[in-house]
Structure 1
Amino acid sequence: MTRSPVSPRPLTGGKVLFMLIAFFGVVIGVNVMMMKLAIQTLPGTEVDSAYSASLAYEDEIAAAHRQSERNWKVDAHIQRGADGGATLLVEARDSGGKPVSGLKFQGRFERPTDKRADQEVDLAEVGNGIYRGSAPLIAPGQWDLVLEGDTAGQRMFLSKNRVLLN
């Protein structure tokens, strides 16, 4: 007669229960950790309400047509400082080449991937049609430079351009 080998530790219901709890505990723990990291790094949305943005779309189209009819030439130059800051110089000219003066220009450096890093730049008129402002600490990399020019509460100019800062 041959004897069947006896397992030194038989598989019991308690062991199976422990293995199931451990398995699902690891899976749930990893999911919770990944969810927490995803929520913490969420940069936000482009617009808070898609419905409100869609209602304002017709106004945006009309403003873009008016801006195109004005045919202004607006040039922006960014100069990096050794301290990590950036100076923004904007020169605005009308369709005849004359400087556009008296506008309230506002600049904004927007990170394409993370709205939390956006930086406003207040531009002051330093010459006839020349506006200057600075961003004290701005990281290198890709940014969207948004320029808005207003007069009497009405937007006269808007542009958004991708720039690379070193």
Structure 2
Amino acid sequence: MRGNLDFTPLLRSSIGFENLNRLFDLATRATEGDTSFPPYNIEKLGEDSYRITMAVAGFDSAELDITVQENTLVVTGKAAEDKSAAGRQFLHRGIAKRAFERRFQLADVIKVVGASCENGLLNIDLVREVPEHKKPRKVEIGSKPAQPVIEGERAAA
């Protein structure tokens, strides 16, 4: 059994957990060299907005599928049969157009709001929507603590 646990795949596909990501990253300092396909970036665009950018060269938007189920974002690519390549002879084929599935774990408050495919890059936009009951609220300090009402005592009074 290996002594070091590698949390890098988990951390690279989580959105909305920046502090946790940084702590794990500092604690583990896993080796670089992730060979997963396709490559992607996760950007923080603003206080509550994010973008995942995936390099999907050669894929048409009809060959890509984005699904959100519970807290998991799944991006899949399935290349359609290329009939124009039937008579072509490639000396080198470096543009990988192989099927893929990429999963991202999302925090409860992260919502996918849109996607676009342009110049070989798939952009998926996300926002953080914190419900009112989870937002911080100010609690007023009174001069006298409120007395709890007990059902039996109310009836006797």
Taking structure 2 as the reference length, the TM-score comes to 0.25
Taking structure 1 as the reference length, the TM-score comes to 0.24
Which has a greater percent of strand? 1
Instruction: Give the greater-gyration-radius structure (CA).
Output: 1
Which has a greater percent of helix? 1
Greater RCO between the two (CA within 8 Å, min separation 6)?
2
